[in-house]
Amino acid sequence: MSDGELGGGGRFDLSVSSGRARCVPSEATPDVHLDLSVLGSIYLGVHRPSAFATAHRLRCDDPSLVADLDLAFVSEVPAELGYGF
């Protein structure tokens, strides 16, 4: 199943300023390529973007941008599931 079949995917512009993030649809050429499973792991703070870049699951031509993503998604609070199943 592709990300498109799940209702996700596409291009988005993510900007972070003064600790606030903004994400909007975009038609611009992307600087970073990743799939939804990678984005979910990054968003939850499970793994750093640089780890996915090393594993070739996040592609970016600018190493400083990967470092910026590491900083943007870092969390002191580990992800946890709030209920058992």
Q: Is 61 exposed, middle or buried (0-12, 13-18, 19+ CB in 10 A)?
A: exposed
For residue 19, tell me if it sits in a domain: yes
- Our count of domains for the chain comes to 1
- pLDDT at position 2: 42
Structural domain boundaries enclosing 30: 12-73
**Does residue 6 or residue 27 have the better pLDDT?**
27
- Model pLDDT for residues 33-63, shown as the tens digit of each residue: 998 889 888 988 878 999 999 999 999 999 9
The CATH number given to whatever domain includes residue 38 is 3.30.1050.10
pLDDT score of 68 more than 80: yes
Evaluate if residue 1 carries a pLDDT over 70: no
How large is the average pLDDT for residues 27-34?
Answer: 92
Cβ proximity of 34 and 43 under 8 Å: no
Query: How far is 83 from 51, CA to CA, in rounded Å?
Result: 28
pLDDT of residue 48: 93
Put residue 19 in one of left, alpha, beta given phi > 0 → left and psi -120 to 50 → alpha: left
Q: Are 49 and 22 in contact (CB under 8 A)?
A: no
Q: Does some domain include residue 82?
A: no
